[in-house]
C-alpha cells in the first residue's frame, strides 16, 4: 500500500504537463479507449464504449477479454527482486569494513589472511542474500493466502469471482467494506462513500455519485469513478470496469514507485543501530590496538594485521542474516497455523502481547446459529435439532406441536422475509449462504413446515435497509397483496421495542422472556411489523422510526468453540488477559463468558462505557472481561484505555467500522473468512480460520521467534567478544619475539589467520541453527516479555561477558601451558604451532558446547530433548569436519600454520572447552532462582 508521502510524489508526477506517454500507445479495440475521460461520460456512454451492458458480459466475452488484457493484477517492480536484495546485503558498513580489511591485508602481503577475510564477506553476503530473498518471497506469497473476491454480474446473474479474473466491461457490485478491484465507472450508487487514501493520501471518504464531471477534473474530483485499491466505507453501488491491472491509476503509481515489503521490525532496527555503534567502537579499538602494537615495537605490517584481525573477529557480521531467518521462519510457521502476517513487526509484537480482545461471534463461538426458543404473546415453544439441517420440530412443554399457532407462524414468516440469507438443503444436510444469524431464522421456519421459497415469492421484497452493527436492526418492505405492504423489522430487543406501540405485549413479560433466553446464552432477536399503504415505494429512515407491533422473540444458540475454552486457559497461564467484546445482549454475553472461563469482573455494556471518562474507563477496561452491546467506536476507546496502562493489545475485528480500532491496536487481527476487505487492510494479521485459538498459536510462535533471536544473540556475541579479548590481551601482554624476516611481533595464542578461520566457519555453521530451535517447554507458562525490554538485555550482556571470559581464559591458558611444556621437548617453533592449533580447537569445541547450552534459555538441554533440533547437529558435524581438515590436511596446515594433534591434545582441548558447561549451568540455576524469588 502506498503511504501519504508516496502519494504526494505521485501527484507531482501527474501534473497536467506530465501526461503519461503510454496512454496514447493505443492498441486496437478496447485499448483505444484506455485514455477516455470516463468521468465526463454518462453511464450509458461508458457501457457502450467498453462494449458492455448493464447486465454484464457473457462468460464467453469475459474469457476473450481476459486473454486480450491479461489478469487484473499489478505487475509491480519487485522491491525484493534479487538485485535489490543483493545490493542491500553489500550496502552495509560491516561489509565495507571487512572488504577494506581484505584489501589492506593483501596490500600488506598477507594474501592468505586477505583471502580468508574475503571468504568471510562472500559467505556472509551469500547467506544473507539467499535468506533475505527467500524471506521476501515468502512474505509476498502470504498476500496470496488471503484471496480477494468480487461479486460481478455475468449475463444478469451474480457470480463470485477472484478479483484477478475481472476484465474491462465487467459489471461489479460494491458494498461497504469492499476493496475496489479495478478502475470503474459507476452505473448505480446508494450512499456510496469510498476512502481513496491509497491513491490520493486523503483519508476522508469521498462521496460517489453518478453525474458526469468536467473532463479536466482532478483525480479526487472524479466522483463517478471508483479506483482500484481504494476502500468502500459505506453504502452500495454498481459499476462497470474500465481499466484493470497495470492500466489502473494504482497500477501506474506502482510502476513508478515499486512496492516495498517492509522487512524492518523493531528488533532489526535496534540491531542495525547497535551494529553501527559497534562498528565504530570496534574501529576505535582497532586503532588503539595498532597504537599498542607500535608502542611495543611491532613491525608496522604486523601491527596493522592485528588491527584488521580485531575488526574482522569482533564484528558480528552474521547477525542480520540470523535475525531475518528467525523472522521468516516465524512468518512461515504462523501461516501454517492459519495466521497470515501482513506486517512483519507483528511477528515480534505478538510475543509481548498482554491482552487479547476478541469478538464473540465466530471467533470464540462457532457461528453455527440454531434457533432453540420462540416466544410470542401467545406462548413459548422450544425447537429441537441443531445446525442447518431442517430436521427438527416445534415443541411446547415437551409435546410436539401439531398445527402451527398463528402468532408463531407470523413470527417465523417475518424472520424469513426480513432476511438476506439463503438455505440449501439436500439429503438431510443443510447449508446456508449469508449471515448465520439469518440462516438460523430460515432453518427454524422450515422445521415448522413453512417454505422459504414460497414465502419469498408470495411476499416479494420492494426495498430493504440492511443490517449494520451500529444500528442493530434490519428492515424490509414487502408486498402483502391487494395494494397492501408491510414493513418487517428485526434486531436487538431494545432497538425493536423502542419502535413498537405500547399496546400489545406488556414490556415486562417481554423483558422477562428476554432475560430467560439470554440467561441461557441464547442470542435473542426481536421481530416486529407494521402495515403501510401500497403507495410507499421505498424505505426511508423515518419509515422505521416507530409504529411497529412486536411479533415475538427468537432465541438462538451459538455454542462456544470447544478448543477455545482450553485456549483461554492457556492465555491465563501465559499471563495474557482475554476480553470478550460483543454486540450481543449483556445476559447472553455473560452466559457465554462464563462457559469460556471469563467469569471474573462485571459485564459492562457499551452504554456504560460511553458514560465513563477516560480515567474511569481505564479502570473498567482492566477489571472487566466481558463487554456487551459494544459498538465499534467503543472498541477504539477500549484499546486506547488498555494501552494507556502499558498493555500490548491484540484486537479482533471484521467490519468496516472496526478499522480504526484495528489500526490502533498493537496487533490488529482480521478475520479471513467473514471479515471485510477494509478490516483486512487495516490489520497486522489475518486469521484464515477466524478462530480465537489461532491468535494464541500466533502469540506462541511470536514468543518462540523472540526466544530464538535472544538465543542467537547470546551465542554470537560472546564469540566475537571472546576473540577480541584473546587478541587484545596477547598484543598487550604476551612476550615479543623476533620474526624470521626481521622485526618484532608478539607470541600469539592464535595467528591472525586462525582468528579469521574461526570467524569464517563458526558463525555460519553454528549460529544459524538456533533460528530453527523449537519452543521451550514452559514458553506459555511465562509472563509476557516487557515490550520495553532492550535487545541487549541484562541477560544478553551478562551472558556475553561470562562466556567470553571463559572462552578467552581457556584458550590463552591452554596455549601458555602447552607452549611451555612442549618447548623443552620439540623446540619453540614446533611447540608454538601445536599450542596454537590446540587453542583454535579449544575455541571451536567451546563453541560447540556453548551452542548446546544456548539451545535453552532457562532449562537444561536434556529437558528440551538433546536431538530435538537436528539442524544443530548438522552444523556441529559440518564444523568438526572443517576443523579436521584445518588440522590434518597438508595444504591447510601450510595455509593456516597448523600442526596435527594427537588424542591427548584433543582430550585436553575438549576438557578445557567443557568448562563452559558447568559455568552456564550455574548461571541458569542462579537466574531461575532469582526469577522464582522475584515472583
Ligand atoms: P460479536 O461482536 O460477538 O462478534 P456480532 O458482531 O455478531 O457479535 P452484531 O452483529 O453487532 O454482533 O450484533 C449485535 C446485535 O444485533 C445482535 O445481538 C442482534 O440482536 C442484532 N443482530 C445481529 N445480526 C442481525 C441481523 N442480521 N439482523 C438484525 N439484527 C441482527
| Ligand 1 pocket residue status of 523, Cβ below 6 Å | yes
Mutating to test ligand 1, I would choose from 418, 437, 528 the residue with most ligand atoms within 8 A of its C-beta, which is 437
| Ligand 1 pocket residue status of 360, Cβ below 6 Å | yes
Which pLDDT value is given to residue 1? 36
- Asked if 374 and 381 count as a contact pair (C-beta separation under 8 A), the reply is yes
Query: Catalytic residue positions?
Result: 359
387: alpha, beta or left, given left = phi > 0 and alpha = psi -120 to 50?
A: left
Which of 641, 634, 622, 674 shows the shortest CA–CA distance to 658?
634
| Ligand 1 pocket residue status of 632, Cβ below 6 Å | no
Nearest CA to ligand 1 atom 2: 582
Integer Cα distance of 672 and 837 in angstroms: 58
The conformation of residue 500, written as its DSSP 8-state character, comes to B
- Asked if 643 and 649 count as a contact pair (C-beta separation under 8 A), the reply is yes
Nearest CA to ligand 1 atom 19: 492
Which pLDDT value is given to residue 8? 35
In which residue are the cell numbers 410436539 written? Answer: 400
Which pLDDT value is given to residue 536? 64
Helix/strand/coil for 649: strand
Integer Cα distance of 656 and 233 in angstroms: 6
- pLDDT tens, residue by residue, 347-367: 989 999 999 999 998 899 988
Nearest CA to ligand 1 atom 12: 583
Nearest CA to ligand 1 atom 26: 467
Integer Cα distance of 810 and 912 in angstroms: 6
Contacts of 860 (CB under 8 A, 6+ apart): 921, 924
In which residue are the cell numbers 420440530 written? Answer: 393
Which DSSP helix (H) or strand (E) runs through 835? Answer: helix 828-854
- Asked if 290 and 301 count as a contact pair (C-beta separation under 8 A), the reply is no
Which pLDDT value is given to residue 916? 94
Mutating to test ligand 1, I would choose from 366, 419, 439, 469 the residue with most ligand atoms within 8 A of its C-beta, which is 469
Cell of 424: 440449501
Integer Cα distance of 279 and 275 in angstroms: 6
- Asked if 265 and 709 count as a contact pair (C-beta separation under 8 A), the reply is no
Which pLDDT value is given to residue 440? 94
Contacts of 161 (CB under 8 A, 6+ apart): 149, 150, 151, 152
CA 608 to ligand 1 center in whole angstroms: 19
Contacts of 691 (CB under 8 A, 6+ apart): 338, 363, 561, 563, 564
Nearest CA to ligand 1 atom 6: 583
| Ligand 1 pocket residue status of 491, Cβ below 6 Å | yes
| Ligand 1 pocket residue status of 582, Cβ below 6 Å | yes
Exposure of 203 in the CB half-sphere (CA atoms within 13 A): 7
What mean pLDDT value characterizes the chain?
85
| Ligand 1 pocket residue status of 367, Cβ below 6 Å | no
CA 187 to ligand 1 center in whole angstroms: 31
Which pLDDT value is given to residue 17? 36
Integer Cα distance of 158 and 236 in angstroms: 15
- pLDDT tens, residue by residue, 525-544: 999 999 987 666 788 888 89
Which pLDDT value is given to residue 359? 92
CA 413 to ligand 1 center in whole angstroms: 20
In which residue are the cell numbers 411489523 written? Answer: 529
3-class SS shares of the chain: helix, strand, coil, % to 5: 55, 15, 30
The answer to pTM > 0.95 is: no
| Ligand 1 pocket residue status of 584, Cβ below 6 Å | yes
Which of 442, 438, 445 shows the shortest CA–CA distance to 464?
438
Q: How far is CA 539 from CA 52, 189, 474, 489, 684, in A?
A: 31, 16, 11, 12, 39
CA 307 to ligand 1 center in whole angstroms: 70
Which pLDDT value is given to residue 119? 85
Integer Cα distance of 730 and 343 in angstroms: 48
| Ligand 1 pocket residue status of 583, Cβ below 6 Å | yes
Which of 172, 181, 175 shows the shortest CA–CA distance to 151?
172
Cell of 289: 590496538
- Asked if 531 and 390 count as a contact pair (C-beta separation under 8 A), the reply is no
Integer Cα distance of 33 and 70 in angstroms: 16
CA 418 to ligand 1 center in whole angstroms: 14
CA 523 to ligand 1 center in whole angstroms: 8
Ligand 1 atom at minimum distance from 631 CA: 11
| Ligand 1 pocket residue status of 469, Cβ below 6 Å | yes
Which of 704, 733, 725 shows the shortest CA–CA distance to 846?
725
**Mean pLDDT, 10 residues at a time, the chain of 935 residues:** 35 35 36 65 90 91 92 69 78 80 86 85 82 73 74 87 91 91 91 85 86 87 90 90 87 58 72 85 93 89 88 83 84 91 88 94 90 92 83 82 89 95 75 87 92 92 86 92 88 92 74 92 94 77 90 93 94 95 92 87 90 93 93 91 94 89 94 89 91 95 92 90 93 82 79 87 76 84 85 90 96 94 86 93 95 85 74 91 94 90 94 94 90 78
Handedness of CA 153, 155, 156, 160 (dihedral sign): negative
| Ligand 1 pocket residue status of 114, Cβ below 6 Å | no
Domains, the chain, ordered by start: 31-75+141-259 (2.70.150.10), 348-365+561-697 (3.40.50.1000), 371-555 (3.40.1110.10)
Mutating to test ligand 1, I would choose from 467, 489, 584 the residue with most ligand atoms within 8 A of its C-beta, which is 584
In which residue are the cell numbers 577494506 written? Answer: 100
Integer Cα distance of 669 and 650 in angstroms: 7
Handedness of CA 895, 899, 900, 901 (dihedral sign): negative
* Paired strand residues for 651: 357, 668
Which of 322, 320, 321, 344 shows the shortest CA–CA distance to 331?
344
Integer Cα distance of 802 and 920 in angstroms: 8
Helix/strand/coil for 388: coil
Nearest CA to ligand 1 atom 30: 491
Which pLDDT value is given to residue 745? 73
| Ligand 1 pocket residue status of 473, Cβ below 6 Å | yes
DSSP 68-129: HH--S-----BTTSHHHHHHHHHS-HHHHHHHHHHHHHHHTT-HHHHHHHHHHHHHHHHHHH
What's the first-to-final CA gap in the chain, in angstroms?
44
| Ligand 1 pocket residue status of 634, Cβ below 6 Å | no
Amino acid at each position: 500500500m502506498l503511504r501519504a508521502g508516496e502519494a504526494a510524489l505521485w501527484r507531482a508526477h501527474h501534473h497536467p504537463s506530465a501526461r503519461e506517454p503510454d496512454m496514447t500507445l493505443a492498441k486496437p479495440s478496447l485499448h483505444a479507449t484506455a485514455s477516455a475521460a470516463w468521468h465526463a461520460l454518462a453511464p450509458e456512454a461508458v457501457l457502450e464504449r467498453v462494449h458492455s451492458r448493464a447486465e454484464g458480459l457473457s462468460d464467453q466475452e469475459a474469457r476473450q477479454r481476459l486473454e486480450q488484457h491479461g489478469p487484473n493484477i499489478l505487475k509491480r517492480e519487485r522491491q525484493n527482486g534479487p538485485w535489490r536484495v543483493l545490493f542491500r546485503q553489500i550496502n552495509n558498513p560491516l561489509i565495507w569494513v571487512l572488504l577494506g580489511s581484505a584489501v589492506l591485508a593483501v596490500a600488506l602481503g598477507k594474501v592468505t589472511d586477505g583471502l580468508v577475510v574475503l571468504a568471510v564477506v562472500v559467505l556472509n553476503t551469500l547467506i544473507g542474500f539467499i535468506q533475505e530473498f527467500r524471506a521476501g518471497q515468502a512474505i509476498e506469497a502470504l498476500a496470496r493466502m488471503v484471496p480477494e473476491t468480487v461479486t460481478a454480474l455475468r449475463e444478469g446473474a451474480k457470480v463470485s469471482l477472484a478479483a484477478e479474473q475481472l476484465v474491462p466491461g465487467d459489471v461489479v457490485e460494491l458494498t461497504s467494506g469492499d476493496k475496489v478491484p479495478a478502475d470503474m465507472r459507476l452505473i448505480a450508487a446508494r450512499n456510496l462513500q469510498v476512502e481513496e487514501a491509497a491513491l490520493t493520501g486523503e483519508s476522508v471518504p469521498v462521496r460517489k455519485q453518478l453525474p458526469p464531471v468536467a473532463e479536466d477534473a482532478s483525480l479526487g474530483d472524479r466522483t463517478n469513478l471508483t479506483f482500484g485499491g481504494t476502500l468502500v466505507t459505506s453504502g452500495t453501488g454498481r459499476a462497470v470496469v474500465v481499466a484493470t491491472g497495470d492500466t489502473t491509476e494504482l497500477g501506474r503509481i506502482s510502476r513508478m514507485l515499486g512496492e516495498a515489503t517492509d522487512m524492518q521490525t523493531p528488533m532489526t532496527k535496534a540491531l542495525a543501530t547497535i551494529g553501527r555503534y559497534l562498528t565504530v567502537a570496534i574501529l576505535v579499538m582497532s586503532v588503539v590496538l595498532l597504537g599498542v602494537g607500535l608502542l611495543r615495537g611491532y613491525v608496522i605490517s604486523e601491527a596493522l594485521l592485528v588491527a584488521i584481525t580485531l575488526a574482522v573477529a569482533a564484528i558480528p557480521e552474521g547477525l542480520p542474516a540470523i535475525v531475518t531467518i528467525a523472522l521468516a521462519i516465524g512468518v512461515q510457521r504462523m501461516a501454517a497455523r492459519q495466521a497470515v502476517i501482513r506486517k512483519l513487526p507483528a511477528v515480534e509484537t505478538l510475543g509481548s502481547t498482554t491482552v487479547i480482545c476478541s469478538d464473540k461471534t465466530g471467533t470464540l463461538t462457532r457461528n453455527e446459529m440454531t434457533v432453540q426458543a420462540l416466544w410470542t404473546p401467545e406462548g413459548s415453544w422450544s425447537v429441537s435439532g441443531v445446525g442447518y439441517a431442517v430436521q427438527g420440530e416445534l415443541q411446547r412443554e415437551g409435546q410436539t406441536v401439531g398445527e402451527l399457532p398463528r402468532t408463531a407462524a407470523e413470527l417465523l414468516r417475518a424472520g424469513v422475509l426480513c432476511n438476506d440469507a439463503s438455505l440449501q438443503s439436500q439429503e438431510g444436510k443443510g447449508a446456508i449462504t449469508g449471515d448465520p444469524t439469518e440462516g438460523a431464522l430460515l432453518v427454524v421456519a422450515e422445521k415448522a413446515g413453512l417454505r422459504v421459497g414460497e414465502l419469498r415469492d408470495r411476499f416479494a421484497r420492494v426495498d430493504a435497509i440492511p443490517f449494520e452493527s451500529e444500528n442493530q436492526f434490519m428492515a424490509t418492505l414487502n408486498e402483502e397483496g391487494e395494494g397492501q405492504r408491510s414493513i418487517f423489522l428485526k434486531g436487538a430487543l431494545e432497538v425493536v421495542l423502542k419502535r413498537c406501540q405500547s399496546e400489545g405485549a406488556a414490556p415486562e413479560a417481554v423483558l422477562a422472556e428476554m432475560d430467560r433466553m439470554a440467561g441461557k446464552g441464547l442470542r435473542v432477536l426481536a421481530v416486529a411489523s407494521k402495515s403501510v399503504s401500497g403507495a410507499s415505494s421505498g424505505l426511508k429512515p423515518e419509515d422505521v422510526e416507530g409504529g411497529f407491533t412486536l411479533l415475538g422473540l427468537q432465541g438462538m444458540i451459538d455454542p462456544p468453540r470447544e478448543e477455545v475454552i482450553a485456549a483461554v486457559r492457556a492465555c491465563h497461564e501465559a499471563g495474557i488477559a482475554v476480553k470478550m467484546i460483543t454486540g450481543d445482549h449483556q445476559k447472553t454475553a455473560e452466559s457465554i463468558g462464563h462457559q469460556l472461563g471469563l467469569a471474573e469482573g462485571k459485564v459492562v455494556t457499551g452504554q456504560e462505557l460511553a458514560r465513563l471518562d477516560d480515567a474511569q474507563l481505564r479502570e473498567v477496561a482492566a477489571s472487566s472481561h466481558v463487554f456487551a452491546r459494544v459498538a465499534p467506536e467503543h472498541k477504539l476507546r477500549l484499546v486506547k484505555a488498555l494501552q494507556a496502562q502499558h498493555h500490548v493489545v491484540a484486537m479482533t475485528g471484521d467490519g468496516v467500522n472496526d478499522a480504526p480500532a484495528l489500526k490502533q491496536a498493537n496487533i490488529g487481527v482480521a478475520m479471513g473468512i467473514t471479515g471485510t476487505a477494509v478490516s483486512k487492510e487495516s490489520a497486522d494479521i489475518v486469521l484464515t480460520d477466524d478462530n480465537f485459538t489461532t491468535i494464541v498459536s500466533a502469540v506462541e510462535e511470536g514468543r518462540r521467534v523472540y526466544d530464538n533471536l535472544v538465543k542467537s544473540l547470546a551465542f554470537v556475541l560472546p564469540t566475537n567478544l571472546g576473540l577480541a579479548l584473546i587478541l587484545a590481551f596477547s598484543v598487550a601482554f604476551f612476550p615479543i619475539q623476533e620474526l624470521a624476516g626481521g622485526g618484532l611481533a608478539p607470541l600469539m595464542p592464535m595467528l591472525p589467520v586462525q582468528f579469521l578461520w574461526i570467524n569464517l566457519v563458526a558463525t555460519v555453521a553454528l549460529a544459524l541453527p538456533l533460528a530453527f530451535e523449537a519452543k521451550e517447554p514452559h514458553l506459555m507458562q511465562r509472563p509476557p516479555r516487557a515490550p520495553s525490554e532492550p535487545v541487549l538485555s541484562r541477560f544478553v550482556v551478562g551472558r556475553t561477558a561470562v562466556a567470553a571470559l571463559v572462552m578467552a581464559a581457556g584458550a590463552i591458558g591452554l596455549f601458555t601451558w602447552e607452549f611451555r611444556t612442549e618447548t623443552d621437548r620439540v623446540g619453540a617453533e614446533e611447540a608454538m604451532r601445536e599450542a596454537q592449533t590446540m587453542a583454535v580447537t579449544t575455541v571451536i569445541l567451546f563453541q560447540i558446547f556453548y551452542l548446546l547450552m544456548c539451545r535453552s534459555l532457562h532449562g537444561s538441554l536434556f529437558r528440551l530433548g538433546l536431538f530435538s533440533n537436528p539442524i544443530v547437529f548438522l552444523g556441529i558435524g559440518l564444523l568438526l569436519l572443517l576443523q579436521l581438515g584445518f588440522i590434518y590436511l597438508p595444504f591447510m596446515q601450510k595455509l593456516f600454520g597448523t600442526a596435527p594433534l594427537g588424542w591427548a591434545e584433543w582430550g585436553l582441548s575438549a576438557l578445557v572447552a567443557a568448562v563452559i558447561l558447568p559455568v552456564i549451568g550455574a548461571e541458569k540455576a542462579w537466574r531461575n532462582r532469582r526469577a522464582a524469588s522475584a515472583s
